[in-house]
């Protein structure tokens, strides 16, 4: 396929390079002037999307997505697929989808899970909102960039699935870190704690696959001085999106709210900025009630 790819950051660049290596004709653009040996880039987003069958965006937030969509939708050829892989608020995702459909385009919101490692390895999970026809047309690209793509329903539902998933993740990581810190104070060995919890009712992805305690369980960012696989900054972004959606929908999410406030304090007032979101463990371990 001919693909226009807008947003060549830490996630977008390896995704675009994987598509190029798979034989697709990729033309990219990034405001920072990022280039690649794998594919051609253009000086403007409008140039990059012209004649593309599928246009993929990977952008930092909803306002930027709306601005970019305003520029590229008129430049896209009719019947092309607009595939947004950014993580943004549900309202922005639906507004951009409406704009794309009004221009005769197929629109998909498809935020991802799997982080930079998944983007490089082509093992991302895509949570997709939008029409079934567009989803099927984009499926070969999902197969290159990821290990799984799930269509979640109407436009905006991909974003809804992402923020619900990451609200659970933020809450369970905090609980896991609190439990390790409590175990320390009670004199319970961390390995013993892991051996019990990882095979008992406390089992979770945060414990079993991404353990925040160094040297315990499978290798994770905790074993690399909490250099981010998924940063606390990004977790805070997603928890804020979840609370924005909860307020809009009238949903009661007290633990999601508490998780947002804890990550805000960690990132903005303590030493969490630029660290992995599992670095909550040394934060709790070093504090007293």
CA distances 246 to 237, 253, 254, 267, Å, are 14, 7, 10, 22
Residue 119 contacts residue 146 (beta carbons within 8 Å) = no
**Torsion sign (Cα): 9, 13, 14, 19:** positive
Beta bridge partners of 54: 3, 81
Residue 169 contacts residue 234 (beta carbons within 8 Å) = no
User: 213: how many CB neighbours lie within 10 A of its CB?
Assistant: 24
Contacting residues for 182 by C-beta, under 8 A, at least 6 apart:
none
Pairing of β 124-130 and β 106-109 = antiparallel
Which phi and psi angles does 129 have, rounded to 5°?
-110, 145
The yes-or-no answer on residue 162 being catalytic is yes
Determine the Cα–Cα distance for residues 184 and 51; give it in Å rounded to an integer. Answer: 59
Q: 2, 148, 162, 244: which one is catalytic?
A: 162
Tokens 């549900």 label which residue?
Answer: 90
Please give the positions annotated as active site. Answer: 162
């Amino acid at each position: 396929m001919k693909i226009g790819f807008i947003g060549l950051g830490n996630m977008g660049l390896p995704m675009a390079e994987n598509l190029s290596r798979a034989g697709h004709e990729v033309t990219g653009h990034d405001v920072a002037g990022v280039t690649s040996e794998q594919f051609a880039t253009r000086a403007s987003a409008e140039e990059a999307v012209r004649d593309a069958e599928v246009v993929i965006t990977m952008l930092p937030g909803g306002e930027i997505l709306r601005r970019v969509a305003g520029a590229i939708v008129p430049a896209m050829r009719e019947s092309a697929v607009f595939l947004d892989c950014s993580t943004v608020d549900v309202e922005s995702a639906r507004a951009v989808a409406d704009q794309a459909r009004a221009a005769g385009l197929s629109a998909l919101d498809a935020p991802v899970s799997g982080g930079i490692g998944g983007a490089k390895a082509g093992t991302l999970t895509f949570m997709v909102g939008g029409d079934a026809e567009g989803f099927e047309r984009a499926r070969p690209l999902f197969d290159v960039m990821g290990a799984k793509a799930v269509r979640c329903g109407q436009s905006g539902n991909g974003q809804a699935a992402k923020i619900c998933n990451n609200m659970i993740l933020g809450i369970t990581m905090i609980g896991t870190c609190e439990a390790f810190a409590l175990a320390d104070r009670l004199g319970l060995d961390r390995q013993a704690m892991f051996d019990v919890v990882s095979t008992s009712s406390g089992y979770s992805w945060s414990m079993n696959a991404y353990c925040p305690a160094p040297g315990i369980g499978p290798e994770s960012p905790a074993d690399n001085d909490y250099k981010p696989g998924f940063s606390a900054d990004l977790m805070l972004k997603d928890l804020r999106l979840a609370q924005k959606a909860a307020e809009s929908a009238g949903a009661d999410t007290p633990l999601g709210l508490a998780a947002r406030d804890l990550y805000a304090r960690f990132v903005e007032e303590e030493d969490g900025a630029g660290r992995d979101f599992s670095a909550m463990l040394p934060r709790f371990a070093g504090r007293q009630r």
